[in-house]
């Protein structure tokens, strides 16, 4: 039913709706692409910062022997871990899962952190119901073998995380801006769609008005093709050809009527005079029949 009602709309309205829908899709797609591009760039920059901070923490690890590690935290670093609002989090984790050192606000390690996976890991998690994003960085140490060769062995993991609250606020601001841009774009698109359709249908309206001025007494007129778009040229030429055929048909009809009137003029005049003469004769059945018999048949 809705489709039928839509098809019953005027052509100009349907075209305006089509143009509006296309522009709305383009604007919506642009807004979505911009939002996800900003989100990707923000988190890429954040991951780079996380890795740099994790490497700085890893540089504080000191190898004290075969099975011993020491962690010396510099005095200026703890400030970021002791903030009341959204402090940074860190932990130094041994391969067996034992935590060598961690910051106080860190409630628990995230579920995605796997101590058996010796590669850099990124992930999001909640710490005390606040959103964070962290990195797990494996730390290696070099050992000297009896053959004087150097080998690397994993000795710990450094976990570092920061709050994503600021990024989420920035993304919310971007989303609000894009929503406002999209809304303004929709209004502008509606006006632009209506104007474009009205302007593009002007030749069709002009053609309709010109066709309405042609009647049975002005079939010799033809529709002008000057300034018409290419799409309307075949229609205009077909209508001019139709007018030419109608003009020819009406001309033949007029000639036939004129010829028929001319051919009937003499017999009718003779018939009329005969009847009048018959009426002048005194009534007589024989004479009336003879006068009527002599009328042209």
pLDDT in tens, 89-99: 988 888 777 88
pLDDT value, residue 149 = 46
pLDDT value, residue 170 = 93
Strand, coil or helix: what is 62?
A: strand
Among 46, 60, 72, 73, which Cα is nearest to 135's? 46
CA distance 13 to 19: 10
Give the lowest-confidence range in 61-75, 111-125, 164-178, 187-201: 61-75
pLDDT value, residue 97 = 77
Higher pLDDT, 271 or 171: 171
The mean per-residue pLDDT over the stretch 167-187 comes to 92
The mean per-residue pLDDT over the stretch 30-58 comes to 92
CB of 112 within 8 A of CB of 125? yes
Cβ neighbors of 58 (< 8 A, separation 6 or more) are 137, 139, 156, 158
CB of 121 within 8 A of CB of 141? no
CA distance 103 to 91: 6
CA distance 287 to 136: 137
pLDDT value, residue 81 = 73
Could you tell me the CA-to-CA distances from 155 to 93, 151, 161 in Å, in that order? 9, 12, 20
The mean per-residue pLDDT over the stretch 210-234 comes to 78
The mean per-residue pLDDT over the stretch 118-124 comes to 88
Strand, coil or helix: what is 219?
A: coil
Give the lowest-confidence range in 89-98, 102-111, 216-225, 269-278: 269-278
Mean pLDDT of the chain: 78
Higher pLDDT, 134 or 7: 134
The mean per-residue pLDDT over the stretch 231-259 comes to 82
CA distance 176 to 3: 34
Could you tell me the CA-to-CA distances from 24 to 34, 57, 140, 174 in Å, in that order? 15, 49, 54, 19
Within 10 angstroms of residue 134's Cβ, the number of other Cβ atoms is 27
Output DSSP code: residue 217: T
pLDDT value, residue 282 = 58
CB of 115 within 8 A of CB of 134? no
To which H or E segment does residue 272 belong?
helix 233-280
Check whether 117 has a pLDDT greater than 50.
yes
Strand, coil or helix: what is 151?
A: strand
CA distance 29 to 19: 15
Check whether 74 has a pLDDT greater than 60.
no
Give the lowest-confidence range in 214-223, 238-247, 270-279, 282-291: 282-291
The mean per-residue pLDDT over the stretch 104-131 comes to 86
Check whether 64 has a pLDDT greater than 70.
no
Integer-rounded Cα Rg, in Å, for the chain is 49
pTM: 0.63
Output DSSP code: residue 127: E
- 291 CB-contact burial (10 Å; exposed 0-12 / middle 13-18 / buried 19+): middle
């Amino acid at each position: 039913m809705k489709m039928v009602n839509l098809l019953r709309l005027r052509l100009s309205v349907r075209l305006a709706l089509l143009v509006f829908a296309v522009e709305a899709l383009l604007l919506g797609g642009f807004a979505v692409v911009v939002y996800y591009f900003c989100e990707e760039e923000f988190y890429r920059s954040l991951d780079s910062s996380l890795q740099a901070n994790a490497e700085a923490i890893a540089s504080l690890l000191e190898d004290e022997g075969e099975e011993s590690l020491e962690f010396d935290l510099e005095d200026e670093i703890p400030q970021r871990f002791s903030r009341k609002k959204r402090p940074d989090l860190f932990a130094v984790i041994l391969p067996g899962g034992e935590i060598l050192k961690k910051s106080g606000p860190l409630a628990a390690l995230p579920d995605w952190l796997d101590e058996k996976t010796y590669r850099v890991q990124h992930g999001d998690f909640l710490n005390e119901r606040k959103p964070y994003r962290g990195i797990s960085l494996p730390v290696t140490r070099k050992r000297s073998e009896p053959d004087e060769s150097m080998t690397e062995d994993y000795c710990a993991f450094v976990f570092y995380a920061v709050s994503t609250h600021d990024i989420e606020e920035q993304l919310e601001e971007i989303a609000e801006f894009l929503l406002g841009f999209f809304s303004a774009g929709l209004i502008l698109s509606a006006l632009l769609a209506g104007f474009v359709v009205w302007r593009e249908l002007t030749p069709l309206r002009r053609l309709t008005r010109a066709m309405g001025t042609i009647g049975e007494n002005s079939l010799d007129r033809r529709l002008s093709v000057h300034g018409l778009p290419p799409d309307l040229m075949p229609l205009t030429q077909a209508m001019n050809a139709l007018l030419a055929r109608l003009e020819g048909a009406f001309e033949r009809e007029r000639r036939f009527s004129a010829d028929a009137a001319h051919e009937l003029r003499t017999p009718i005049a003779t018939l009329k005079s005969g009847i009048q003469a018959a009426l002048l004769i005194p009534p007589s059945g024989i004479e009336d029949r003879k006068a009527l018999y002599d009328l042209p048949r």
